[in-house]
Amino acid sequence: MNKPKVLITRRWTESVETKLRDLYDVTLNETDRPLRTDEFKAALQNYDVVCPTVCDSFPADVLNVENKRCKILANFGVGYNHIDIEAAKANGLIVTNTPNVLTQSTADIAMTLLLMTARRGAEGDRLVRANKWSGWCPTSMLSSNVTGATLGLIGFGRIGQAMARKAHYGFDMNIIYFNPSAVDEYVIQDLNAKRCNTVEELLQQADFVSLHCPAGANTKHLINAETLKFMKPTAHLINTARGDVVDSQALIDALKSKQIAGAGLDVYENEPNIHEGFLELENVTLLPHLGSATLETRTAMGEKVLANLAAYFAGETLPDRVV
């Protein structure tokens, strides 16, 4: 019996790729280069399964290609805003994702960014590397306290709650949050978290604002020129969610004018094509989408994909079905 044909669009961890070779007629992206639109269309026509990542774009134009062989997009990542879900539904395509396994690693990066922007870590590193540090001085590179400050979380799901625990129990931070849906009462009591009725209410109170909301029409440019005006001039913005949640130009303007004190970013609009305005600023910390980038987490994500494929080919309920 022929094995199902599977395309992996980018390199995965070695242990998962080994399992894929054993189980399927798999094509790996040995050079790890981003694939083109025409290659995605051809993949849908020639493979039973395509396994994209969050950096691969599958708009309607791609999904509507004729003579599709592919029946399932087994996505490597929690987010799936790079896939046109309505077009997938219309084409009868199953879409799965990899939730629950990257919560702690992403919350770790959010906390890393908070500490780096608060204490001007990236700026200090650049100063030392450029051999421009003249030594300790009482007023040199003054920054912001983290311990005891107020952390505002926009989006209070798994990752937001994980960051809140690190901040509250590790740094005695006060937790406030905005979340459209109800949050478990135990979580609220455990963290002594206070709910804000609006994003604006949260922005006015928080010393650090961390974004953990999904990308979509309702959250695109949620942080923009108008909402940034509600933040304190001493406040910092952290984004490990999705780049589209923040209006890049508005944030650059706010940082440049010192309307807010700083920002820490792991995700960007149109990444990896980062707005050049960010590169000119000292008061922003920039990371290359490292949220889930630990060996353990990326392996667990691959194992999630394997579990979804095993269920699919066994005719069982898929554990992480989106569509």
Residues 6+ apart with CB under 8 A from 6: 20, 24, 25, 26, 27, 47, 48, 49, 50, 51, 309
158, 168, 289, 321: which is the annotated catalytic residue? 289
82: annotated active-site residue: no
Residue 158 among the catalytic residues: no
**Does the active-site annotation cover 289?**
yes
By DSSP bridging, strand 174-178 and strand 194-195 are: parallel
Task: From the candidates 10, 236, 242, 298, give the one annotated as an active-site residue.
Answer: 242
- Choose the catalytic residue: 271, 275, 303, 321: 271
**Residues tagged active-site:** 242, 271, 289
